[in-house]
C-alpha cells in the first residue's frame, strides 16, 4: 500500500511541475509578443527645432564699481 501512495504523489508532482512549465512558456510568449529570439527593427525619428542665436547688437553689462575707500 505504501508504494501506491508514493507513486500517486510523484505523478501528481510531475503534473504540477509540467503545468508550471507550460504557464511560464505562455507568459514568455505573451510578454515578448511571440518573437522570442528574433531581431526587432525599430525606427526612431527625432525632430528638434533649430536653436535661436543671440541678437548681434546686444550690449555687455557695465563692469561693477569698486567700493568706496573713504574712511570716516
How many angstroms separate the CA atoms of 17 and 9, rounded?
A: 12
Q: Is the pTM of this model over 0.85?
A: no
User: pLDDT tier at 11 (50, 70, 90 boundaries)?
Assistant: confident
Which of 46, 29, 49, 48 lies closest to 37 in space, CA to CA? Answer: 29
Residue 36 DSSP symbol: S
pLDDT single digits (tens) 16-71: 999 999 999 988 888 877 665 666 677 888 888 888 776 666 566 777 887 776 65
pLDDT at position 1: 47
Amino acid at each position: 500500500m505504501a508504494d501506491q501512495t508514493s507513486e500517486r504523489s510523484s505523478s501528481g508532482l510531475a503534473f504540477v511541475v509540467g503545468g508550471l512549465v507550460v504557464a511560464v512558456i505562455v507568459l514568455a510568449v505573451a510578454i515578448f509578443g511571440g518573437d522570442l529570439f528574433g531581431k526587432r527593427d525599430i525606427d526612431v525619428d527625432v525632430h528638434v527645432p533649430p536653436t535661436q542665436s543671440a541678437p548681434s547688437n546686444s550690449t555687455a553689462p557695465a563692469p561693477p564699481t569698486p567700493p568706496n575707500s573713504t574712511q570716516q
